[in-house]
Structure 1
């Protein structure tokens, strides 16, 4: 095929590529059987669809001609009101006009609104790889804030030393992707104080907030939160509708006035059918969401107990969708171990190298992300036998 001869963006060409297809390539080497099927623990997706009542309402909404037209840039008013009520119950009282519904592109739009090429964004590592990709594509300087075992929590004290005149924001993700670590409220408050003192933004990505007990933080209860806080979230995981790409953000009216310009160019308006159904689901599916939360919390405990029976494998941290697992093979990069997990024993995972800058020491590269929300408990119980099989095969494998 003839290649393009026109110039392409250097920033985009230099940015990282999506890593999940690479993991799928490793899995293509595995020969599944009925007794040993492929186990996909690579992507943070709901393990089951939403209840039939929600599926029926989605179908009805797509057949309604009123949902085919343009909607409000900020999201339909009725959904915004429902979300504002829900956020007030969870966190405190942010006003409705401080809220925007987006097409799950809030992080990208936020970065465009905040920073110019060359500005710096502090991002704890391990980081979510799409955050890294977004910053690279926008020409922003990613400043790693290393988080270390055993808890993988970011340190405000370490963060202070990273702030410069070009720093525009600190990004926190809790519950974290990839580690699953849940940041204590007091820790988030300390970062809020730091951001406020340095006049930079604190961006909280709380995609998995509905899978923890109690309010993730109390920042919204304070009247000064608009001065520094930008809150991002997604309906995809909470309502098991990632294919509908619906999310949102809460921030000051000053910030939202600028980000709205970007959203008008990126999406014009969020998908109308999903908005209508989520408006209903916020109240009607609260018991279902609580059930999913408790199920995932139980699954974390089960998975941790399962790995206790496998020599050398250990859950370092876990929460919501993810468990961050230390592998037993000293001196071997996590990417090589993940490759063998997929190709030799049929478990697709993502290595820590996909979520970090290059490691200074090989012994730091010992962690692999297992997405335990993808499958049911019965499937998770197959994992220990596969890990034991890899332990047995390991002396015979090139590495």
Structure 2
């Protein structure tokens, strides 16, 4: 009897890590520093919560099934703002709203692949992408990244086979934090188009990119929709993690297939969450800019403070958006080190082994720090605890 695909897929890493803190008491003078998950811990701002409350109280349609591809006004707003921001032409008919960005990825893969097909993922990879491919019977083909954690299009080209259906990129990257340069993204679009496969670009963290202006020019290509599938999340921008609102932008023909998937899985995205995302897009531009500045300041604090660890053999491999990706100096694998950090230092983070294939030993040297929920003082405390480690 063949094992079901869920049984052969690894356990959700964040949930596994949370089990490491069960039964452990953290003293008041050394509380837990939780840098395991890349999600805002604060609720939406009060004005946005009021919009959501008003929708719940006064808009009866907010409690009913909505359009499978999302609220028309939200689709139109995203199309308008993305067209202006990226310098391209995106129509509302090329936009759909999903129940979070993970669902957008799942929907895209379902329209692209069949049993035994392949999708190329740069490593370290975003573990939920790998999990969905495993549960879909699709082979994840690892594309190791080199210095700076940047994938190489030439190396990717060598991995393409007749079974390859897509290359999936995340920029700014999870888990590495690195921002892929525009020329690199263009090279991947050109490669995917030339080889007749899709380029999936997950830009969940685009609102916290270090550079001003568009992070790439892919939408300026008049034929972008023949190759590009763009994914986005409203969760990080407006603190809507619990309301599950994401987006997928692709050709109209692909969205006709996506609609089948979404209608079967969730029927429609959260109505109240969509109203919140729409109001946020129209009214919280200045507030979001302030959130971005704060995240960039915390990123700067990581870079400024890291020398105290560097002298002890630590290396900063990637930094950006919500993440710092580190190489540790200890003579033990990261999947053994990470649980010990809970007990010895009151730090909860994820080992690099959770982002690598089992046969890639480099993950044993790596740790991911999701620093976005630490202020400068918290980052200082994190470095102090790491600096004091002796194994």
**Fold in common (TM above 0.5):** yes
Q: How does 1:157-196 map to 2 (within 5 A)?
A: 157-196=154-193
TM-aligned CA distance change 1:340 to 1:136, over 3 Å? same
TM-score, length-scaled by structure 2: 0.94
Q: Which residue of 1 aligns with 2:318?
A: 317
The question of whether the paired residues in 1 share the 8 Å contact of 2:334 and 2:363 is answered with no
Unaligned runs of 5+ in 2: none
Cα distance per residue 1:148-184 (max 9 Å; x no partner): 3x30000001001100000000000000100001000
Q: Which residue of 2 aligns with 1:152?
A: 149
Deviation at 1:8, TM superposition (A): 9.0
Aligned match for 1:59, one of 50, 53, 56? 53
- How far, CA to CA, are the matches of 2:235 and 2:2 in structure 1? 32
Tell whether 2:42 aligns with 1:48: yes
Deviation at 1:376, TM superposition (A): 2.5
Equivalent pairs counted in the alignment come to 383
Tell whether 2:77 aligns with 1:82: yes
Q: How does 1:313-352 map to 2 (within 5 A)?
A: 313-329=314-330, 331-352=331-352
Q: Which residue of 2 aligns with 1:143?
A: 141
The question of whether the paired residues in 1 share the 8 Å contact of 2:322 and 2:370 is answered with yes
- How far, CA to CA, are the matches of 1:327 and 1:261 in structure 2? 45
Tell whether 2:119 aligns with 1:125: no
Unaligned runs of 5+ in 1: 1-6, 395-399
The question of whether the paired residues in 2 share the 8 Å contact of 1:325 and 1:367 is answered with yes
- How far, CA to CA, are the matches of 1:263 and 1:359 in structure 2? 35
Q: How does 1:1-399 map to 2 (within 5 A)?
A: 10-28=4-22, 30-64=24-58, 65-91=60-86, 92-104=88-100, 105-148=103-146, 150-212=147-209, 213=211, 214-310=213-309, 311-329=312-330, 331-361=331-361, 365-391=364-390, 394=391
The question of whether the paired residues in 2 share the 8 Å contact of 1:29 and 1:343 is answered with no
Cα distance per residue 1:39-93 (max 9 Å; x no partner): 1000001143322111111122222322111111111111111111111122122
- How far, CA to CA, are the matches of 2:73 and 2:301 in structure 1? 40
The question of whether the paired residues in 2 share the 8 Å contact of 1:75 and 1:269 is answered with yes
TM-aligned CA distance change 1:197 to 1:307, over 3 Å? same
3-state DSSP of counterpart to 1:204: strand
The question of whether the paired residues in 1 share the 8 Å contact of 2:356 and 2:363 is answered with no
The question of whether the paired residues in 2 share the 8 Å contact of 1:30 and 1:344 is answered with no
The question of whether the paired residues in 2 share the 8 Å contact of 1:174 and 1:183 is answered with yes
Cα distance per residue 1:309-354 (max 9 Å; x no partner): 132233221111111011111x421112212111211010001000
3-state DSSP of counterpart to 2:278: helix
Cα distance per residue 1:257-306 (max 9 Å; x no partner): 11111111111111111111211110210111111111111101101222
TM-score, length-scaled by structure 1: 0.93
Cα distance per residue 1:227-249 (max 9 Å; x no partner): 11101111111111100000010
Q: Which runs of 4+ in 1 moved over 6 A?
A: none
The question of whether the paired residues in 1 share the 8 Å contact of 2:89 and 2:222 is answered with no
- How far, CA to CA, are the matches of 2:360 and 2:286 in structure 1? 46
- How far, CA to CA, are the matches of 1:278 and 1:388 in structure 2? 41
- How far, CA to CA, are the matches of 2:184 and 2:225 in structure 1? 19
